[in-house]
Amino acid sequence: MSQIEFDIEWTERASKKVERLMPKGTPLALPPIECMPAEGDVLFLGQGDKKQPFIVVERQYHHEGEDAWTIVLILDLPE
């Protein structure tokens, strides 16, 4: 069975916004692997009524060895 890990990276604009929305180290709830967002999908992140939209601008796959994979979602702000 493969080991799959997830990571989120932010564009510079999105990084500044998310720092204001959520304290560093706040865990993000991601959907299960079967429902992982694709490029162009929108995720609403934040706490309570402060949720804001972030767009998946890229999804990368990194092979880390025999059965280890990392899926990276790169998020940006909507135009």
Tokens of 46: 């934040």
Residue 2 lies in a domain: no
Q: Is 75 exposed, middle or buried (0-12, 13-18, 19+ CB in 10 A)?
A: buried
Q: What values do phi and psi take at 70, rounded to 5?
A: -125, 130
* Residue 52 within a domain: yes
Higher pLDDT, 22 or 11: 11
- The CA distance from 15 to 9, in Å, is 8
Give per-residue pLDDT as tens, 34-60: 888 999 999 998 878 888 999 999 999
Total structural domains within the chain: 1
pTM tops 0.85, yes or no: no
Residue 66 lies in a domain: yes
> What is the arithmetic mean of pLDDT over 56-74?
89
28 located within any domain: no
Domain span holding position 51 = 37-78
Is 46 domain-assigned? Answer: yes
Q: How confident is the model at residue 13 (pLDDT cuts 50, 70, 90)?
A: very high
